[in-house]
Structure 1
Amino acid sequence: MTARTHSMPRLRQGACLALALALLTALAPAAPALAQQAGSSVPNALQGFARNRDQPVRINSNTLEVRDKDKVAVFAGNVVVVQGDTTMRSPELMVFYEGEAAPM
């Protein structure tokens, strides 16, 4: 297994960002149902992403590691995800994706 942690071409970074957007868009509608099932009175953390689904997603991090063989992209270190007026901060964000790698 080979892991790369160096700078990637912009096209490949764009593909990873598009995959992250697809992941966030896919998870956002399911989040309210999960919160209701849990009976939690805590506001839904992903609700803002569902509300802003037509907005682009920006992801900033200290590093980005893409493991094409495993179909995983790992954003690490001060990860900030912004979509519309919603911001999510995390030490790490893992994106699992399908499909072929973008041409370089």
Structure 2
Amino acid sequence: MKKKIYFLATALMLMLSAPSVMAKDAKSKPEMTENQKVRLAEITRRIEEIKSIDRSELNSSERKALRNELTEMKKEAKAMNGGIYLSVGAIIIVILLLILLL
């Protein structure tokens, strides 16, 4: 029983330290093309426009449309930067599978 606890503690420590190790390797990101840079500038400009809008004058459907537009732009900007993103739910599922299999 103690061996399982030590193994799980070691695995947990390794999983918690992995993101910090991966974060130091920021130079390996792919360079953005000119089209991507232009699109990123457009997204930034549109976000500034949305921030300057007085949202108290908008109705609920217009606010929802703005919110959806912002989430889509956020996803697009993240995709341009590259990388793998894991949600908290995915991490929990992986941990549970490791526990069940071992």
Please state which structure has a larger fraction of its residues in strand: 1
With a CA cutoff of 8 Å and minimum separation of 6, indicate the structure with the bigger relative contact order: 2
Calculate the TM-score normalised by the size of structure 1: 0.29
Please state which structure has a larger fraction of its residues in helix: 2
